[in-house]
Amino acid sequence: MAIIVDKVEKRRNIALSCSELLLENGIKNLTISQLAKTAGIGKGTIYEYFKNKEDIVFEIIKALIDEFKSELEVNLKNYTGVRDKVFNYFDFIFNDEKYKNHRKIYIEFLAITLTSNSQEMIDFNIECKDDLLMILRGIFQKGVDRREIKKEAMGLVNGLFFLEKGLLIEQNMSKINAKIELKNFINTLFNLIEIKEK
């Protein structure tokens, strides 16, 4: 009897073995041949585990983003105050050196999704957004609960999140200093929403 392979696990393994390649080449410059060679398998084997090129690229990006999200959450544990947490949430997203390529890939993926009509891509983007948004909302909520910030601040969470996305994109193009922009905005904002002790 032939070996029965765990398809899900093999998918993941192939994807993982190719994540380096994706981070370095970018999405568009990736060929199935390269992927197969990198994964040490035949081109046809790719298609045993993935529907098409989009499918495998997705799988890799998902793995990269999952890794990024976990790391973000771990990182946030180092901070306690709301303002600190928010600062570091964005600082991690924008500046963490280790995830430079992750950012580059995410931007490219965003660009592709913007002009593609793939529902799958769109859904994945929504999922990503929701996950990161939930983390940010959690930070704010805790701040409200601890009476660090006014409860009206909750109305700013979504906006702040979209701001981050806009800034991420703008940073990629305008060479603006996202760090300073954010610092300014967040400081101004917190001065308005923070509850000052007497």
Residue of 11, 26, 38, 47 interacting with DNA (CB under 7 A): 47
| Whole-number CA gyration radius for the chain | 20
Give the separation between CA 141 and CA 11, rounded to whole angstroms.
37
Contact status, residue 33 vs residue 43, Cβ threshold 8 Å: yes
Q: Using CB under 7 A, which of 11, 16, 38, 53 touches DNA?
A: 53
Q: Which stretch binds DNA (CB under 7 A): 51-59, 81-89, 91-99, 142-150?
A: 51-59
For 140, how many CA atoms within 13 A lie in the half-sphere containing its CB?
A: 22
> How far apart are CB 178 and its own copies at their closest, in Å?
9
The reply to whether 120 sits near DNA by the rule CB under 7 A is no
141 interacts with DNA by CB under 7 A: no
Hey, which residues between 160 and 189 contact DNA (CB under 7 A)?
A: none
In angstroms, the CA 74 to CA 89 distance is: 11
Which are the contacts of 136, defined by CB distance < 8 A and separation ≥ 6?
Answer: 86, 89, 157, 160, 161
Residues at the interface with its own copies (CB under 8 A): 2, 26, 28, 42, 44, 107-108, 110-115, 121-122, 125-126, 129, 152-153, 155-156, 158-170, 172-175, 181-182, 184-185, 187-189, 191-193
